[in-house]
Structure 1
Amino acid sequence: MIYMKISRLLIFVFLIAPSFLLAQTKEVLFTIDNHPYYTDEFMRVYNKNLDLVKDDSQKDLDKYLDLFLGYKLKVEKANKIGLQNGTNYQNELKSYRNQLSKNYVNDSKVTNELVHEAYDRMQQEVRASHILVLVDEGASPQDTLKAYNKVLDVKKRLDAGEDFIKVAQQFSEDPSVKENNGDLGYFSAFRMVYPFENAAYKTKLGQISKPFRTRFGYHIIKVVDKRVNRGEVTVAHIMILKQNDAAQNEKAKTTIDDIYKKIQQGENFESLAQQFSEDKSSSAKGGVLQRFGSGQLSSEEFENVAFELKDKNQISVPFQSQFGWHIVKLIEKHPVRTFDDMKFELEEKIRKDERSLLITNSLAKKLRAKYTFTKDSKLIATIKGLVNDEFYTQTWVVPEKSKDLNGVVLTINKDRKINSKVFLDFIASKQKSNIKTKPVARLVDELFEKFVDEQLITYYNDNLENEFSEFKNVMDEYRDGLLLFDLMEKEIWNRAKNDTIGLNDYFKNNIKNYQWKKRYSADILSSTDSKVVEKAQKFLKKGKSLEYIKEQLNNDGKVNIMSKSGMYEEDYDVLSQFKDLPKGVTTIVSKDQYFFVVNISDVKPAGSKELSECKGKVISDYQQYLENNWVDELKKEFTIKVNQDVFAKVKNQLHN
């Protein structure tokens, strides 16, 4: 919803973008009903838009001031009628702020390091096998130690020279080991959990890693191969499913071979895919699959064939995978993009990936040094007495005691006081994290440190407007933009749609703008073959129907002739090729490698349109008419005072 609104806001709102601020003294430029508007905002917005506006008149400062005044008058009107209190408005503003704040609520140094690390890793694909010893992320110390000792025993076997595959088959607790012997195939950055990715890229080719832990348990990996990243590929395929019966499977092989012969004879790959491919998810689209990279499909054979195709539209010979027989056509190769092209995308992936914890932890560490904060140790001790072992079974609830729980447990910068109830709710919410820290007193201390980090980041986020002037400017402009959208919808767009009398009057007064050109009721027939069109022309002259003509000329599964029918103006598409169009069948003309013949059944002279025939255009024009006169009405509604002496100084600064 937000993005839809932005597209419409750009029609009339001052563009939202960071800008260079001139050094200046902040003064009141004008007031609207005693509400002051300052020179710094006016100069910032003017400079920001200077190179963007196409109309030179908008660069004239007097005219620009009038535009800026009109903009602020609309904002005043929106606030006056209470649009700023609307639920949808509040939700959208909050959503946008959350999105914008992501660029600020991070550690840019750590983020940049992670982005570069991810991009460097994406240049290479790693093939690794692994052995997994399962242990829950929140397992007890006893269970964790048991799993760790088991993985150490496995490592000793490998160090002693035992075969990795045999050890994996015997000891790995990954359910897929029975099928793949622990081989995970090729992968690149973001395809595995971050600790696993780290181990894979840091372990040398042919070497076995030390045991390491992920949220699934302890792993040992062996790096089998490393190669240049093949990027991604888009292909289409025709598939005949594998059959259990030997005779049926041979029939499937014969079918795919016959299809391949038809392709070699020049028949269309996409049409054959639609007719014969048994992959129902892609056959209707001509066999086209979603683009993929190494390790994303469950068939390595299919991936290898797809990536081996070199030239666009190159078609493979039939080959077999575990799913059946395939013929693959290369649509497009997508090599790894440049760093600049991928930077934003990588930042988004990192935010969603567990490596984002590195950013959060780094930011929290900086904020602990930036802000002063104090805790109430006595209150925390009281809270420790309220938490019990039910936490570990996820059944603990915040006690309904108010006297002992009321109080400020954490104070940040003396102006943010956080009640103990907030911390208790935080503790309750962390039960799902399956934390096993014991005893309870130690658990509460551990959770309080996490709570402090979270509250510091929240405090920082809430004060971004005070921390960064550009953030405040963008939020102010977006806030005004949303208000203007709601106001325009209420005062202009909806009014233009619903004001029947006003719309009719506007239409009658401007009828000259809504005129038909000469029109023809026509059947337009086309083909790339002139002889086919000649035949169609003869049929038309004999009075044959379009259905009859298509039946006669579209045969043997080929579409030789196409038609479209309707009422068209004289300059429509191919009609402009004819000098004169009386009723009846035309001569044959050519355009863009196609041949056309037209059958005219009726001719209508130029004339005025009915409102029903152009209502959408009239509503749009009426909206613009209402908006153009609206600012004059607002100027009468509000009291405006422009400080001309201050404006003269602004002119002088901007012209110098």
Structure 2
Amino acid sequence: MNKKYIWYSIFFLAFSCSPKPTIVKEDTAQEIPVPLMTIGNEDIFADEFLYLLSKNRQFQDKSEKISPEEFEENFELFINYKLKVKEAENLGLDTLEEFKREFEIFKEDLIKPFLIKNSLQEGELMKAYNRMKEVVKASHILLQFPNNSSREDTIAVFRMAQKLKAEAEAGADFNELAEKYSDDPSAKDNKGSLGYFTALQMVHQFEDAAYSLQIGQISDPVLTNFGYHIIKLEDRKPNPGEIRVSHILIRTQEEDPIAEERSLRKVGDIYTELQKPESNWEEVCSLFSEDMGSKNSGGLLPWLSLGSVIPEFERVAFSLTEIGEISPPVKTPYGYHIIRLEDRRPISSYEEMEPVIKSRILRDSRSTLIQSQVVAIQKSRYSFEENEPVIHEIQNLYAQHPINDVPKIIDSMNLSDSTIFSIQEKGTSVIDFMDFIQAGKQNVRPGMQSYFEAWYDKFVEISLSNEEEKDLMENNKEYKLLLNEYRDGILLFSLMNENVWQKALMDSVGQVEFYEENKDKYTWKQRVRALIVTMGNEESTASVRRFLSDKKYRPDLSDRLENTFLLNNPLAFVMEEGLFEWESHPVLQKADLNKSFQELKFNEKIHFILIGEKLAPEPKKFAETRGKVIQDYQQFLDEKLIASLKENYIIRINEDEKQKLYDIAVEK
């Protein structure tokens, strides 16, 4: 939300701000709506006023109804608000490019919760989070396609995958099959074992298959961008959450047996040293660890979850149960590690994890899947029909001719006006498609698709999205009211900024004139010069009392106090000095102004007060009250603007409609 809408919200203070108002629905589907009021030539309906009035309230609940006075006050504010919006429109502020740009930015954000895509996305987010509550352990066999593979090659790989699945189900050792047949390079070392993982750590087709299996079950061949996978589920258990560990690393050189033996002895000696009560983990880590990135910070690593580190390290790290527990040396491809458990925490709540889950889903292939589902639903909902012969003909033209020549060929064949597809029985022509490509406003990358397919799919996607937005504006009352509220808010800000807020700030001559005309409003009440010393600790109270008891107010007394006491004890007391309107001062209003020195106890604090010159009431100088003058000048200009608008626009109120709203909102 930007500054303009914040200003609008502040101005329209009576209507509290909430993104999801409760609208009282009435069964008026068969009735022709009757305006609540007319301003100029514009009808304004009751649902808009009720929408604003019912924010953070449910008028079905008797305790949340408002008083007759509140209703009338809000109704008057609503009239003023709509008058200003009407004036902004008549001035053409809604036609300015700046307004259009800003409104489009708001519109893009406001429409998101109402779109089909949002509900599908939320479902995918929740599914991912629910899967994250569990971790699964699986092994797989990967069979990749040969380079430039044909359809026959693909079928052959699929049949090989089926054969391996059958062998495994017949009793063959799955991990030995993985070691022998898998195209995953790591299978030679891990025999296909992937260890534990959770949602969003594998490509989504693999994840879907793994989470659908029972322990011991072997999947049908699963197709991903890597090839065909056969997956065996070995275990599933609740997600243990995350752990924070530190480690000491001694690197190894496996091709050098002597160096390997030396590393093993060294890590053994370090582990023995760490068992001594007097040993210090941070010092030992700093001296001996060969992880240069963490050795000087006690070996501390980022938070770890299952599946985020290599299995050998993960297995030992997650087996530690007590904070501060140290593991024996564990071997990984990086060398020997000694691991200490620093902290652990459960999986975070959905609200905390939602931004991370959403970011990861939008970056992987799930986003393409969601968009495909969106388009499918939109096609069904909005009666999408393709003209297949025309599509096929244009597709062939793009395949047979240079891209830049196709528009001319289409024109010469009289295809430009042909319907390429229809939405809600309204045809979209070939020339519309050509213009869409020519505009080049979309970032279209053909990838695996042909040029025509990529641009056609994008054109269909944009056309269906526009139809969905149109449908929301026509049929979704909540979205329509919300969008209208933001639109009017931007216009209101522009009008008020030009005619009230900035005008009052920049019109220095007007400020002075307003001040002179209203001088009696800006006066000082009785004032007194005073020094107030509020004690912070009791041990200094007696010495400060002795120092001040024979003193009278002087402008330099605060400096002497500071030099005498605060240099060595900055928290001894705080001082307040100046010219005060004593009647409104929390301490001075309790003081006896006829005493030059006195001691008061107030709010559990000792206050020493020295009273100086007393000043009678007098007018404030302009410079002394400029801020308040500007504030009042703004209010004056606002009231002047409203009065002018009420003269210029005829306002007609439908009292019957107003009474209906009154009956809904007002406590009886």
Question: Deviations along 1:345-387, whole A, 9 cap, x unmatched?
Answer: 8788767664566655555555545444554455334313302
Q: Secondary structure at the match of 1:481?
A: helix
Q: Secondary structure at the match of 1:225?
A: strand
Question: Deviations along 1:175-213, whole A, 9 cap, x unmatched?
Answer: 444554433222222322221112111222233322110
Correspondence list, 1:588-627, <5 A? 597=571, 605-606=578-579, 622=630, 626=634
Question: Deviations along 1:14-36, whole A, 9 cap, x unmatched?
Answer: 53424223436733333444333
Corresponding residue for residue 11 of structure 1: 10
Corresponding residue for residue 653 of structure 1: 663
Corresponding residue for residue 584 of structure 1: 563
Looking at structure 1, the residues matched to 108 and 528 of structure 2 have their Cα atoms a distance apart, in angstroms, of 50
Looking at structure 2, the residues matched to 8 and 100 of structure 1 have their Cα atoms a distance apart, in angstroms, of 18
**TM-score, normalised by the number of residues in structure 2:** 0.66
Query: Which of 20, 29, 40 pairs up with 2:36?
Result: 29
Q: Secondary structure at the match of 2:231?
A: strand
Query: Which of 301, 305, 310 pairs up with 1:293?
Result: 305
Q: Secondary structure at the match of 1:409?
A: strand
Relative to structure 1, is the Cα distance of residues 226 and 318 closer, same or farther in structure 2, using a 3 angstrom cutoff?
Answer: closer
Larger mean Cα displacement after TM superposition, 619-628 or 401-410: 619-628
Query: Which of 450, 454, 470 pairs up with 2:478?
Result: 470
Q: Secondary structure at the match of 1:388?
A: helix
- Give identity over the alignment, percent: 24
The Cα shift of 1:423 comes to 7.0
Correspondence list, 1:148-187, <5 A? 148-152=158-162, 154-155=164-165, 158-159=168-169, 161-177=171-187, 180-187=190-197
Amino acid at match of 2:488: D
Looking at structure 2, the residues matched to 462 and 607 of structure 1 have their Cα atoms a distance apart, in angstroms, of 62
Unaligned runs of 5+ in 1: 535-578, 590-594, 609-614
Correspondence list, 1:15-164, <5 A? 15=17, 16-23=19-26, 26-48=33-55, 50=57, 60-87=70-97, 89-106=99-116, 117-135=127-145, 140-152=150-162, 154-155=164-165, 158-159=168-169, 161-164=171-174
The Cα shift of 1:70 comes to 2.7
Looking at structure 2, the residues matched to 165 and 197 of structure 1 have their Cα atoms a distance apart, in angstroms, of 19
Looking at structure 2, the residues matched to 189 and 652 of structure 1 have their Cα atoms a distance apart, in angstroms, of 53
Corresponding residue for residue 329 of structure 1: 342
> Residue 409 in 1 paired to residue 420 in 2?
yes
Contact 2:144-2:227 at 8 Å conserved across structures:
yes
Relative to structure 1, is the Cα distance of residues 186 and 299 closer, same or farther in structure 2, using a 3 angstrom cutoff?
Answer: closer
Looking at structure 1, the residues matched to 629 and 366 of structure 2 have their Cα atoms a distance apart, in angstroms, of 52
Corresponding residue for residue 545 of structure 1: none
Looking at structure 2, the residues matched to 70 and 278 of structure 1 have their Cα atoms a distance apart, in angstroms, of 72
Corresponding residue for residue 386 of structure 1: 397
Correspondence list, 1:622-641, <5 A? 622=630, 626=634, 629-637=637-645, 638-641=648-651
Relative to structure 1, is the Cα distance of residues 248 and 277 closer, same or farther in structure 2, using a 3 angstrom cutoff?
Answer: closer
Contact 1:130-1:183 at 8 Å conserved across structures:
yes
Corresponding residue for residue 612 of structure 1: none
Question: Deviations along 1:614-647, whole A, 9 cap, x unmatched?
Answer: x9x9869946862574243243144251426346
Corresponding residue for residue 219 of structure 1: 229
Contact 1:525-1:598 at 8 Å conserved across structures:
yes
Correspondence list, 1:487-636, <5 A? 487=495, 582-586=561-565, 597=571, 605-606=578-579, 622=630, 626=634, 629-636=637-644
Query: Which of 324, 334, 350 pairs up with 1:315?
Result: 324
Relative to structure 1, is the Cα distance of residues 105 and 55 closer, same or farther in structure 2, using a 3 angstrom cutoff?
Answer: closer
The Cα shift of 1:462 comes to 3.0
Q: Secondary structure at the match of 2:561?
A: coil
**TM-score, normalised by the number of residues in structure 1:** 0.67
The Cα shift of 1:584 comes to 3.1
Corresponding residue for residue 432 of structure 1: 446
Contact 1:260-1:318 at 8 Å conserved across structures:
no
Question: Deviations along 1:393-418, whole A, 9 cap, x unmatched?
Answer: xx966724151452232222244534
The Cα shift of 1:457 comes to 4.8
Corresponding residue for residue 491 of structure 2: 483
Q: Secondary structure at the match of 1:60?
A: helix
Q: Which has the larger radius of gyration?
A: 2
Corresponding residue for residue 201 of structure 1: 211
Question: Deviations along 1:50-100, whole A, 9 cap, x unmatched?
Answer: 569999789622211121123223433443454434555434433443444
Corresponding residue for residue 561 of structure 1: none
Q: Secondary structure at the match of 1:463?
A: helix
Corresponding residue for residue 553 of structure 1: none
Looking at structure 1, the residues matched to 53 and 139 of structure 2 have their Cα atoms a distance apart, in angstroms, of 60
Looking at structure 2, the residues matched to 240 and 621 of structure 1 have their Cα atoms a distance apart, in angstroms, of 68
Question: Deviations along 1:295-345, whole A, 9 cap, x unmatched?
Answer: 1245763575367446xxx33336656475554421x6133547x987898
Looking at structure 1, the residues matched to 287 and 66 of structure 2 have their Cα atoms a distance apart, in angstroms, of 59
Query: How many pairs align?
Result: 572
Looking at structure 2, the residues matched to 379 and 482 of structure 1 have their Cα atoms a distance apart, in angstroms, of 45
Looking at structure 2, the residues matched to 623 and 278 of structure 1 have their Cα atoms a distance apart, in angstroms, of 66
Looking at structure 2, the residues matched to 4 and 137 of structure 1 have their Cα atoms a distance apart, in angstroms, of 56
Query: Which of 191, 209, 213 pairs up with 2:201?
Result: 191
Looking at structure 1, the residues matched to 297 and 353 of structure 2 have their Cα atoms a distance apart, in angstroms, of 29
Unaligned runs of 5+ in 2: 254-258, 541-557, 582-622
Relative to structure 1, is the Cα distance of residues 159 and 469 closer, same or farther in structure 2, using a 3 angstrom cutoff?
Answer: same
Looking at structure 2, the residues matched to 632 and 210 of structure 1 have their Cα atoms a distance apart, in angstroms, of 77
Amino acid at match of 1:380: I
Query: Which of 229, 232, 249 pairs up with 2:239?
Result: 229
Relative to structure 1, is the Cα distance of residues 652 and 291 closer, same or farther in structure 2, using a 3 angstrom cutoff?
Answer: same
Amino acid at match of 1:305: A
Corresponding residue for residue 537 of structure 1: none
Looking at structure 2, the residues matched to 19 and 416 of structure 1 have their Cα atoms a distance apart, in angstroms, of 38
Corresponding residue for residue 548 of structure 2: none
Q: Secondary structure at the match of 1:125?
A: strand
Q: Secondary structure at the match of 1:582?
A: helix
Corresponding residue for residue 599 of structure 2: none
Looking at structure 2, the residues matched to 365 and 652 of structure 1 have their Cα atoms a distance apart, in angstroms, of 45
Relative to structure 1, is the Cα distance of residues 278 and 369 closer, same or farther in structure 2, using a 3 angstrom cutoff?
Answer: same
Contact 1:305-1:316 at 8 Å conserved across structures:
no
Relative to structure 1, is the Cα distance of residues 506 and 111 closer, same or farther in structure 2, using a 3 angstrom cutoff?
Answer: same
Contact 1:128-1:186 at 8 Å conserved across structures:
yes
Contact 1:50-1:59 at 8 Å conserved across structures:
no
Q: Provide the alpha-carbon RMSD of the alignment.
A: 5.7
Looking at structure 1, the residues matched to 512 and 250 of structure 2 have their Cα atoms a distance apart, in angstroms, of 67
Looking at structure 2, the residues matched to 334 and 113 of structure 1 have their Cα atoms a distance apart, in angstroms, of 23
Relative to structure 1, is the Cα distance of residues 411 and 144 closer, same or farther in structure 2, using a 3 angstrom cutoff?
Answer: same
Looking at structure 2, the residues matched to 500 and 275 of structure 1 have their Cα atoms a distance apart, in angstroms, of 70
Amino acid at match of 1:432: P
